[in-house]
């Protein structure tokens, strides 16, 4: 049986875990908003038309910051369309997803939903078809308390207090040829710098995220970050990373190593940011906002989901409605492990997305809401992750992947807080259970108060409308003897343990 051993020592800290690592993303795309979080006719809908069953699941998922309103959508979005009396709002054609946007749910409605969900707003501005002036207008509308035309308009529209939005994305995926207003790194860097400077003149307390690459395989990856940061180093706080993985895009062994790929991306972007820092002789450090990450079968979008035709602009079509399996959930768990292990340089992250669109939560109009398999590792990691990420001293057997070469069979992350220690583990072996021995002597006398896992004999099992609870968390056995905790992880599994001091 393959083996791994892990040593935990609370004195070896990576850094503080920013709660914003457990963020998500709601885009005006498909049934994310309409027939997702919002369905006025639904039996659980509240007075604003928001589904109560979905809100309950979002709270259980434990999402901190939610990025809004896109995504590709934002690059053609006129924010003014989405405020004021709902009946007078324009209906627009959304070019990004070839859909009709009615603007029935806009900035006010979404911020009210966020209050109910207990999450914080992260706003993206349109730097695709628009620029500095419109970004300033939105910032004035959202963050200025009163006394200017746009802040008073917000008050007249029913929001007396400013939204006080802290995190702002300077556009979306501007490196991607599919993006409305896509431009090269030099042109985007200049526009982002001008926009950031102007926005800070209006509100110096905001945190700004400049667009990094849409994924690590982009031909401009690395060079894009270098050029963009040369233009914006003084003006921004964070640079974004986006990445999606899918079993259909590689062999299963490589797919299971997605967390390894995410770690490489983070480390390469950190190296690039630090190289610009050195060349520009700066002391300030730029960190990462990994504001789109997930499993997503992009191939399916190319072949099934794409809508076209000048007369065909559906409202809230079923787009990007991936159905997630056990192996997808294990990969999502391993991606969270990678984020925790880079807590010193990743300050924020957004699981893309939240409801119906490549999402942990699914809904049926007039029907049920249910948890996809990927719901479980996210909810457990968000709930159990402590304030400090510890360095996992891990020695693991390895396996071969066609995409990344030799990769550890087991990966782990460890966090601690005043109340205890949490351990997150993944076994990437397709065929073997793996025994992990964890040296916990430094923790003193502790007991395992929670031990849960995701695994199944059918690694492609999924939760569906017909069978919404087919896959769920399972208890997993552990033993402790002489300061060593032993756990045997089934093939293709993810597990989380909570250790608390014995009184």
Residue 454 CB, shortest distance to ligand AHR, in Å, is: 23
Strands (E), 345-419: 346-352, 361-363, 369-371, 388-390, 393-396, 398-401, 405-408, 410-417
* Residues 214-253 close enough to bind ligand AHR by CB under 6 A: 214
Chosen residue from 36, 62, 70, 189 binding ligand AHR by CB under 6 A:
70
- The answer to whether residue 72 forms part of the interface with ligand AHR (CB under 6 A) is yes
- The answer to whether residue 353 forms part of the interface with ligand AHR (CB under 6 A) is yes
Chosen residue from 71, 171, 386, 392 binding ligand AHR by CB under 6 A:
71
* Residues 416-445 close enough to bind ligand AHR by CB under 6 A: none
Residue 353 CB, shortest distance to ligand AHR, in Å, is: 6
Reduced to 3 states, what is the DSSP secondary structure of residue 46? coil
Tell me the C-alpha distance between 124 and 391, whole Å. 33
Which range, of 69-77, 117-125, 330-338, 432-440, touches ligand AHR by CB under 6 A? 69-77
Q: Going by DSSP bridges, is the β-strand pair 420-427/478-481 parallel, antiparallel, or unpaired?
A: unpaired
Give yes or no: 292 in active site.
yes
- The answer to whether residue 374 forms part of the interface with ligand AHR (CB under 6 A) is no
Residue 31 CB, shortest distance to ligand AHR, in Å, is: 13
Reduced to 3 states, what is the DSSP secondary structure of residue 290? strand
Q: Residue 183 contacts by C-beta under 8 Å, 6 or more apart in sequence?
A: 174, 191
Reduced to 3 states, what is the DSSP secondary structure of residue 435? strand
Residue 251 CB, shortest distance to ligand AHR, in Å, is: 24
Helix (H) or strand (E) segment spanning residue 299: helix 298-300
**Cβ proximity to ligand AHR, 18 vs 291, nearer residue:** 291
- The answer to whether residue 27 forms part of the interface with ligand AHR (CB under 6 A) is yes
Which range, of 15-23, 70-78, 259-267, 437-445, touches ligand AHR by CB under 6 A? 70-78
* Residues 253-312 close enough to bind ligand AHR by CB under 6 A: 292
Query: Among the options 80, 120, 173, 247, which is catalytic?
Result: 173
C-alpha to C-alpha distances, 479 to 414, 435, 438, 459, nearest whole angstrom: 18, 12, 10, 26
Which range, of 68-76, 98-106, 396-404, 456-464, touches ligand AHR by CB under 6 A? 68-76
Q: Going by DSSP bridges, is the β-strand pair 3-7/434-439 parallel, antiparallel, or unpaired?
A: parallel
- Residue 102 class from Cβ within 10 Å (0-12 exposed, 13-18 middle, 19+ buried)? middle
Query: Do 404 and 260 contact (CB within 8 A), yes or no?
Result: yes
**Cβ proximity to ligand AHR, 7 vs 32, nearer residue:** 32
**Cβ proximity to ligand AHR, 62 vs 69, nearer residue:** 69
Residue nearest to ligand AHR (CB): 71
CA-wise closest residue to 478 among 456, 449, 455, 501? 449
**Cβ proximity to ligand AHR, 53 vs 292, nearer residue:** 292
* Residues 139-198 close enough to bind ligand AHR by CB under 6 A: 172-173
Q: How many residues bind ligand AHR (CB under 6 A)?
A: 10
Query: Among the options 292, 299, 418, 457, which is catalytic?
Result: 292
Query: Do 243 and 262 contact (CB within 8 A), yes or no?
Result: yes
Helix (H) or strand (E) segment spanning residue 275: helix 258-279
Q: Locate tokens 């590792």: which residue?
A: 377
Chosen residue from 114, 332, 352, 369 binding ligand AHR by CB under 6 A:
352
**Cβ proximity to ligand AHR, 242 vs 342, nearer residue:** 242
Please give the full DSSP string across 211-256, using - where no structure is assigned.
---S-TTSTTTTHHHHHHHHHHTTT-SEEEEEEEE-GGGS-HHHHT
Give yes or no: 247 in active site.
no
Tell me the C-alpha distance between 77 and 106, whole Å. 11
Tell me the C-alpha distance between 132 and 235, whole Å. 14
Residue 186 CB, shortest distance to ligand AHR, in Å, is: 21
**Cβ proximity to ligand AHR, 209 vs 459, nearer residue:** 209
Task: Catalog residues that contact ligand AHR under the rule CB under 6 A.
Answer: 27, 70-72, 172-173, 214, 292, 352-353
Active site residues: 173, 292
């Amino acid at each position: 049986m393959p083996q791994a051993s892990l040593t935990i020592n609370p004195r070896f800290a990576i850094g503080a875990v920013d709660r914003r690592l457990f963020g998500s993303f709601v885009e005006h795309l498909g049934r994310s908003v309409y027939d997702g979080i919002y369905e006025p006719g639904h039996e659980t809908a509240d007075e604003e038309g928001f589904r109560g069953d979905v809100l309950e699941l979002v709270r259980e998922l434990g999402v901190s910051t939610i990025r809004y309103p896109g995504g590709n959508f934002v690059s053609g979005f006129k924010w003014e369309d989405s405020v004021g009396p709902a009946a007078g709002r324009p209906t627009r054609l959304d070019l990004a997803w070839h859909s009709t946007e009615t603007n029935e749910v806009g900035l006010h409605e979404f911020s009210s939903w966020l209050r109910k969900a207990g999450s914080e707003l992260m706003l993206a501005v349109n730097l695709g078809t628009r620029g500095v002036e419109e970004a300033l207008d939105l910032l004035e509308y959202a963050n200025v308390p009163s006394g200017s035309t746009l802040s008073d308009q917000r008050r007249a529209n029913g929001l007396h207090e400013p939204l006080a939005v802290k995190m702002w994305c300077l556009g979306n995926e501007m490196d991607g040829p599919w993006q409305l207003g896509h431009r090269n790194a030099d042109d985007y860097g200049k526009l982002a710098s001008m926009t950031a400077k102007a926005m800070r003149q209006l509100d110096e307390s905001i945190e700004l995220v400049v667009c990094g690459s849409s994924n690590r395989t982009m031909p401009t990856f690395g060079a894009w970050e270098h050029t963009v940061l040369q233009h914006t180093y003084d003006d921004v706080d964070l640079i974004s990373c986006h990445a999606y993985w899918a079993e259909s895009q590689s062999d299963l062994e490589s797919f299971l190593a997605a967390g390894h790929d995410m770690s490489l991306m983070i480390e390469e972007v950190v190296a690039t940011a630090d190289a610009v820092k050195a060349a520009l002789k700066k002391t300030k450090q730029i960190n990462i906002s990994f504001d789109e990450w997930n499993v997503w079968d992009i191939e399916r979008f190319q072949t099934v989901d794409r809508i076209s035709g000048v007369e065909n602009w559906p409202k809230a079509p079923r787009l990007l409605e991936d159905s997630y399996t056990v192996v997808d959930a294990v990969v999502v768990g391993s991606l969270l492990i990678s984020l925790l292990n880079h807590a010193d340089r990743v300050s924020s992250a957004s699981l893309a997305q939240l409801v119906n669109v490549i999402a942990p939560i699914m809904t049926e109009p007039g029907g049920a809401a249910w948890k996809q398999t990927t719901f479980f590792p996210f909810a457990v990691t968000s709930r159990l992750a402590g304030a400090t990420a510890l360095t996992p001293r891990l020695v693991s057997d390895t396996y071969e992947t066609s995409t990344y070469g030799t990769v550890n069979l087991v990966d782990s992350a460890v966090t601690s807080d005043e109340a205890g220690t949490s351990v997150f583990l993944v076994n990437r072996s397709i065929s073997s259970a793996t025994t992990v021995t964890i040296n916990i002597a430094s923790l003193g006398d502790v007991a395992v108060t929670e031990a849960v896992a995701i695994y199944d004999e059918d690694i492609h099992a999924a939760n569906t409308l017909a069978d919404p609870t087919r896959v769920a968390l399972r208890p997993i056995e552990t033993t402790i003897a002489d300061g060593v905790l032993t756990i045997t992880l089934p093939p293709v599994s993810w597990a989380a343990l909570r250790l608390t001091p014995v009184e």
